[in-house]
Amino acid sequence: MISFRQVNKHFGNFHVLQDISLDIAEGEVVVIIGPSGSGKSTLLRCINRLEDISDGVLEVDGAAVHDKGTDINALRRRIGMVFQHFNLYPHLKVIDNITLAPVNAGGVSKEEARKTAKMYLEKVGIPDKADSYPSELSGGQQQRVAIARGLAMKPKIMLFDEPTSALDPEVIGEVLSVMKLLAKEGMTMVVVTHEMGFAREVADRVVFMDGGRIVEEAKPADFFERPQQPRARDFLSRVINH
């Protein structure tokens, strides 16, 4: 479904991603962890080309992301994304936040889009907030709207970029439970997070990054119980004890 082959990315002189090779299968849930500045968010953002890669081959759902000729908008319609800071559209009601892309990029009728949107709002647990503005919602509710927005195009892949990092501790759970639900339904998910509990419980595979490289990848049980690399061990000891 997603395939990185020798992918490199530079920000000026900064080598953010170094020789990344990674394959993610359909229906797989991959959690990317690592210290800040390790390149994990960048890696995620390359998947739907919010960041261009400098060289290498990156294919997502059969489309060559590295190729400038690829219709990136068509690919993006098949990939949902959730951001750390929600990035809801503050001038639009919740319902319009969700229907905007299906109606304008997905060619779905307005009624159809509203129906789908309500369905997803139901799914994320806030069906009554359709006519609210984002500023009237709590952080957890906003992020759930953002998930519904990401799902509204009925994507094959969902990307989560630190979806709980900006949330108050007491609402993190409600967002994570929605994500678990998605995972259970078989959605292909790539999640950048610091929620080790989520990784351990939900992930099919954990990818540990440091210094722009993939240092270790393993099943969560193996990774958390028997990390192979010193850097991973070091990282885990600091997050878990924390």
83 binds another protein per the rule CB under 8 A: yes
- 15: β partners: 10
- Span 106-125, contacts to another protein by CB under 8 A: 106
Minimum distance of another protein from residue 11's CB (angstroms) = 15
Does 85 help bind another protein (rule: CB under 8 A)?
Answer: yes
Of the pair 30, 81, the CB lying nearest another protein is at 81
Cβ of residue 106: shortest distance to another protein, in angstroms? 7
What are the phi and psi torsion angles at 97 (to 5°)?
A: -55, -40
Using CA atoms of 87, 97, 29, 170 in order, give the dihedral in degrees to the nearest 10. Answer: 60
Other C-beta atoms closer than 10 Å to the C-beta of 235 total: 21
Q: According to the binding rule CB under 8 A, does residue 88 interact with another protein?
A: yes
Q: Considering the complex, what minimum distance in angstroms separates the CB of residue 101 from another protein? A: 4
**Least distance between another protein and beta carbon 149 (Å):** 7
b (16+ CB within 10 A) / e for 75-88: bbbbbbbbbbebeb
> Tokens 């540990």, residue?
208
Among 24, 99, 10, which residue's Cα sits nearest to residue 56? 10
Q: Which of 1, 50, 57, 181 binds another protein (CB under 8 A)?
A: 50
Is residue 135 a contact point for another protein (CB under 8 A)?
yes
Minimum Å distance from CB 124 to another protein? 16
Amino acid at 35: P
- Residue 171 token pair: 């609402």
The CA-atom distances, in angstroms, between 35 and each of 18, 21, 118, 234 are 16, 19, 37, 11
Among 79, 182, 190, 232, binds another protein (CB under 8 A): 79
Binding mask 136-155 for another protein (x = CB under 8 A): ----------x--xx-xx--
